[in-house]
Amino acid sequence: MKSPASSIQSPVTAMFALAFFLAYLLAPLFAICVAGVVVGAIVSTVADGRGAADFGRRMAVLVAVSAAAAVVISIFLPRRDVNGPVGATCPDLSSSAGHILAVVAVTSAVAAAGVVAAAVVELARRRQTAGTLGRFVVAAVVPYVAIGAWVIPAFCDYS
């Protein structure tokens, strides 16, 4: 027979699990947006909207290229032996390629913050277009590809 406390704990535990999952899921987006808004607000006092739009376009391309590079590096990571079934291997994130993968994933997130900063400058100078929104969407979504390419190999575990 279930105790009354366990039936109360279960929904609460599920609620906390969902909250932590959402926090981990949304933390990169939150960090990118906060950094971009702060930098954009500071820079908007001296920058012009047209230059910000050009910068935002270049940073959006860098976000996409670095995410694609992270996926390619992740696919070709060297393998290392692990304790598990005979012949079991996992991607080696401690190799040089693993460190380069980390740099490329962080580069994607930093470039995304640059896109957000450029969008803030465009909004402050009233030079926003539909492209501004498109670049913001790229900055919000695409870094998750690079971060996923960096994090997913770490889940390899045969223990």
Domain residues for the domain of 75 are: 4-155
Given a cut of 60, is residue 9 above it in pLDDT? no
Tally the domains of the chain: 1
Q: For residue range 32-89, what is the model confidence (pLDDT) as tens digits?
A: 999 999 999 999 999 998 999 999 999 999 999 999 999 999 999 998 888 777 778 8
Q: Tell me phi and psi for residue 148, to 5 degrees.
A: -65, -40
- pLDDT band for 21, please (50, 70, 90 cuts): confident
Distance CA 49, CA 38 (A): 17
Contacts of 85 (CB under 8 A, 6+ apart): 158
Here the tokens at position 148 are: 């996923």
**Upper half-sphere CA count for residue 130 (Cβ side, 13 Å):** 0
Other Cβ atoms within 10 Å of 140 Cβ, number = 17
SS3 54: helix
Report pLDDT for 61: 97
- pTM of the full predicted structure? 0.83
**How does 98-121 read in b/e, with b if 16+ C-beta sit within 10 Å?**
beebeebbbbbbbbbbbbbbbbbb
SS3 90: strand
Other Cβ atoms within 10 Å of 66 Cβ, number = 24
For residues 80 and 97, the model is more confident at 97
Distance CA 122, CA 10 (A): 48
Q: For residue range 128-145, what is the model confidence (pLDDT) as tens digits?
A: 899 999 999 999 999 999
